Amino acid sequence: MYVVEAVFFSALYRSYWKTLCQKLRANFGEGPPDPEDITQLAFIKYSQQVATKPIENPQGYLYTLAKNLYIDQYRSQIRYDGFIDEIFSDLALAPIGANSSEDVTLQSEKLAIIDSALKTLTDKQLQIVKANRIQGETYQQISQSTGYSISDICRTLEAVNKILQQAIRNWENGIPSPTPRKKKSRDDRN
């Protein structure tokens, strides 16, 4: 039985992969996210689903799955862009897209400083920042998934904001940014 499913999946993949990519391009453009990446994810999810239940209309199911994955990726990218915009706003930085090449260079350097500062965060801090700022989870949702108290989550996010603000202030004053530190375990404090 498993061999039959594998043969069917292989045939479906070869016959429908290109068509699904074309449908995604026609409906959503070239990306991001890339239609080929979304198609690949859809086939992976399909192979996981087909093992648990039979699917009557594989092509329709794959298209719906791909469409939902595309929308999820798009929303995630919007949240990430919003996170970057929020960092710029919190740190009183000018938005990217300035007119002069000097401004663009300065903004790129500031982004590199922020990236470097994010690499100094502990695993706990990074987990909470990603959950809240990128995935859009509420403090309550983070608390339920991690076991951290809401006040601990608030303190952690406040500490991260201070780290980012200090990194930008140091950069502006010519102080080198710290090197990424060894990640602390989940039980360690901020």
- Percent of the chain scored above 90 by pLDDT? 8
Q: Residue 93 has what pLDDT?
A: 61
Is 90 part of any domain?
no
Range of the domain at 164: 100-172
User: Does position 17 have pLDDT exceeding 60, yes or no?
Assistant: yes
125 and 163 assigned to the same domain: yes
* Reported confidence tier of residue 125, pLDDT bands at 50, 70, 90: very high
Do residues 35 and 71 both lie within one domain?
A: yes
Residue 33 lies in a domain: yes
Residue 91: pLDDT band by 50, 70, 90 thresholds?
A: low
Is 122 domain-assigned? yes
How does pLDDT run across 130-139, given as a tens digit for each residue?
888 878 888 8
Output the pLDDT for position 122. Answer: 92
Region 135-145 average pLDDT = 87
Say how far apart CA 132 and CA 139 lie, in whole Å. 7
Does one domain contain both 39 and 105? Answer: no
Residue 148 has pLDDT above 60, yes or no: yes
Flag whether pLDDT at 95 surpasses 60.
Answer: no
- Whether pTM > 0.75 for this model: the answer is no
Following DSSP, what letter does each residue of 78-144 receive, concatenated? HHHHHHHHHHHHHTTPPPS--SSHHHHHHHHHHHHHHHHHHHTS-HHHHHHHIIIIIS---HHHHHH
Considering the domain boundaries, does residue 161 fall inside one? yes
Whether residue 152 contacts residue 145, with contact meaning beta carbons closer than 8 Å, is answered with no
User: pLDDT confidence of 146, banded at 50, 70, 90?
Assistant: very high
Band (pLDDT 50/70/90 cuts) for residue 12 is confident
Domain assignment present for residue 9? The answer is: yes
**What pLDDT does 147 receive?**
93
Whether 68 and 111 share a structural domain: no
DSSP state of 185: P
25 located within any domain: yes
Number of domains the chain contains: 2
Residue closest to 161 by CA, chosen among 79, 81, 78, 86: 86
Q: How many helices (H) and strands (E) does the chain have?
A: 7, 0
Does the pLDDT at position 99 exceed 80? no
